[in-house]
Amino acid sequence: MYSEKVMDHFTNPRNVGEIPNADGVGEVGNPVCGDIMKIYIKVKDNVIKDIKFKTFGCGAAIATSSMVTEMAKYKSLEEALKLSNSQVAEALGGLPPIKMHCSNLAADALHAAVNNFRKNEQVIK
């Protein structure tokens, strides 16, 4: 049912945790399946220097959270905003159709964290 990459990111998730004093935080959830993802970013010179996540959900939700953090780390904010749900799923070797909504959440949480950073940056200026 799940690819080897999905199982690897589920059993050995990367970048798990919180970033104290994160520059941006994005939280999304899907009330239908109960998955909740929170992504924290630290930004320097418009580049994501550190990224962590906390996810409550199924194996696919954890795997997509792990993968999206790997994909976004050291990318510019613009590059991070271009990451799509289909790219996350593809990087994991695909997801069963019933689990595709999980990859939607991972990209959405990343985009929310970037948008939160930009909003916070405007408040400071």
User: Tens digits of per-residue pLDDT, 3-47?
Assistant: 999 999 999 999 999 999 999 999 999 777 788 999 999 999 999
Asked whether the whole model's pTM tops 0.85, one would answer: yes
Query: By C-alpha distance, which of 34, 36, 35, 16 is closest to 26?
Result: 36
pLDDT of residue 31: 72
User: Could you confirm whether 102 is annotated as catalytic?
Assistant: yes
Give me 90's structure tokens.
Answer: 């593809």
Map residue 67 onto helix, strand or coil: helix
Q: Which residues are 40's β-sheet partners?
A: 25, 52
**58 belongs to the catalytic site:** no
Among residues 102, 107, 109, 113, which one is catalytic?
102
Where do the domains of the chain lie?
Answer: 4-120
| Residue 124: predicted pLDDT | 66
pLDDT in tens, 74-103: 999 999 999 998 999 999 999 988 887 766
Q: Is the separation of the CB atoms in 6 and 63 below 8 Å?
A: yes
Looking at the domain 4-120, which fold is it? Sufe protein. Chain: A (3.90.1010)
Residues 49-77 have pLDDT tens digits of 999 999 998 899 999 999 999 999 999 99
Q: What is the pLDDT of residue 102?
A: 67
